[in-house]
Structures are given as structure tokens and as C-alpha cells.
Copies of this chain bind each other. A is one copy, B any other.
Amino acid sequence: MPLPQTEAPGRLVAELLSRGVRMTRQRRTILSVIETASQHLDAAQILRRARKLDPGIDRVTVYRTIRLLKRHGLVDELDLLHLEGEKHYYERHPQRDHLHMACVRCGKILEFESDLFERLKGQIQRDCQFHILVTRVEIGGYCAKCRGNSTDLRSV
């Protein structure tokens, strides 16, 4: 399920440089992996892909770069209901929020944008006096294909 390619490549590098963050060879590589990914990637996947481009990169550097990007609000973290293990997944922080649906049977991840969700955020900011920085909506259930199938692998 390819995600929409909403951002020009190199955007993460530019964004970090504009904030005075030093740019190393390793960071450029890791950023390009995250930026060009068509799915949500976990740290191990990011490492594998980064090593194809620059074999010396260490997993510690991947973790530190992810933390850097989170601190700057440039990537979002998901756990996709931890349907497989305790991994976390990363994606570019999108212009507009989207929700994640995870099929507990086949593992497929769907994404969904909704005006109703934008209104919900507005309601929260107003009613709770809460200033929203980041949102994370993960919904578990059965996708269209698996709906109706009987074998229940549910573990959430």
C-alpha cells in the first residue's frame, strides 16, 4: 500500500539544516531512506536499507537519528497495535493527519484522512484547552477481505 508522495526529496535535510543541525553522510543516508519509503518502516528496516547505501552505518546512529527527527517533530512514531512484536514504526510527519487501521488477521495497514477527525481535533483543543502537537490513531479490526473469514487470530 504505497503512501502518497507528498514531499519533495531532500526536504528533511533542508529542514534540519535550517534549524542548525549538523549534516553528516550517515544522516543524509538515513533521511533519504525515511523520505523515500513507501511504507511505515521500523528501525531494523531503516538500518538495512541505509546499509545498502552506506554499509558502515551502525544501528545506534539509526536510533539517534530517529530520536532527533522525533524531537524536531519531523517524523511520527506508530506501533500499529504491536501486531508483530514490540517494534515501532516511523513515517514522515504528514501535512494533514491520517488514521491507521490494522487488520488483526492479515496484518494489512490502511490509512484514512477525514474531516471528521479534523473537527474532533478542533473540539479537543477548544473543550480541553489542550494544544495538540501530534496525533496517533490506531484502529484494529478486520479489513474488507478478512471480514467474513472465520479463523480468528485476534490478539489485541
Contacts and interface: CB of A to CB of B under 8 A. Distances in A.
A131 B105 CA distance: 11
A134 B156 contact: yes
Interface stretch (A18-26, A41-49, A120-128): A120-128
Contacts of A134: 81, 139-141, 156
How many copies of this chain sit in the oligomeric assembly? 2
A124 B121 CA distance: 17
A132 to B, nearest CB: 4
The interface size bin for chain A is 35 or more
28 contacts: A67-B155, A71-B155, A77-B156, A79-B79, A81-B136, A99-B120, A101-B128, A103-B130, A110-B130, A112-B128, A114-B120, A114-B124, A116-B119, A116-B120, A116-B123, A117-B120, A128-B144, A130-B143, A130-B147, A131-B142, A131-B147, A132-B141, A133-B141, A133-B156, A135-B138, A135-B140, A136-B137, A136-B139
